[in-house]
Amino acid sequence: MPRHADPVLRRRQVADALLRVAGAEGLDAASIPRIARELGATTGLVQTYFSSKDELLLFAFDHLGELVNDRVERALSSDSCATIGERLFLGMSVLASADESEQDGEGRIWLAFLARAAVHPALRARHVAGTAAVRDKCRYAFAMASNAGEVDPGLDPGDAALALAAFADGVALQRALEPELVTKDVARGLLRGYLDRIFARQH
């Protein structure tokens, strides 16, 4: 890892190293010295970009969120003519670690950050904000579907969004803990079945 480089790029590389270590060994193992070894750099060089483990942890969480959001955007742009239900399926498949481009271990990383967020106020605030943004997008999609007559007219978009986000989180959790049982295909089937029941009026 060269000493002189673009600071933004280097911070992302350090965050990527933290994510690799967290995926393989757990978040507790992702110390500054361990991350430096992962990068082939010195501890001092890593500390040039992050003054503390806490600063790095928060940056890495935001970086992970950006990577996932980029995958969601790519998934949605792959089929611009998709129905509202299909677009929800594509987006939530990414969040449930069930899309084709999902990397092995990503679910474990998400789970590790989730556990840490329960006792880390700043990390929890970021997680809550991200989850709220997902629910807002789902709520908007369900409202559009309701206006288009694609779902039951009695469907409450807010309740439906909350339930779908919770369901996808549950699938992601099981993907992380039992990937041999809850494979990508199984996870996608669960999401497909869940959404098909809501959008049954289309069939």
Per-residue pLDDT tens for 49-78?
Answer: 999 999 999 999 999 999 999 999 998 887
Per-residue pLDDT tens for 147-196?
Answer: 999 999 899 999 999 999 999 999 999 999 999 999 999 999 999 999 99
User: Which pLDDT score is estimated for 202?
Assistant: 52
In terms of domains, do 4 and 82 share one? no
Domain of 87 in residue numbering reads as: 58-202
Q: What is the CATH number of the domain that holds 39?
A: 1.10.10
Do the Cβ atoms of 90 and 75 come closer than 8 Å? yes
Q: Residue 110 has which token pair?
A: 């998400």
Q: What is the CATH number of the domain that holds 193?
A: 1.10.357.10
Query: Biggest alpha carbon distance in the chain?
Result: 61
Q: Is the pLDDT of residue 201 over 80?
A: no
Distance CA 63, CA 198 (A): 33
In terms of domains, do 168 and 147 share one? yes
Q: How many domains does the chain have?
A: 2
Dihedral class, residue 26 (left if φ above 0, else alpha if ψ from -120 to 50, else beta): left
User: Which pLDDT score is estimated for 203?
Assistant: 46
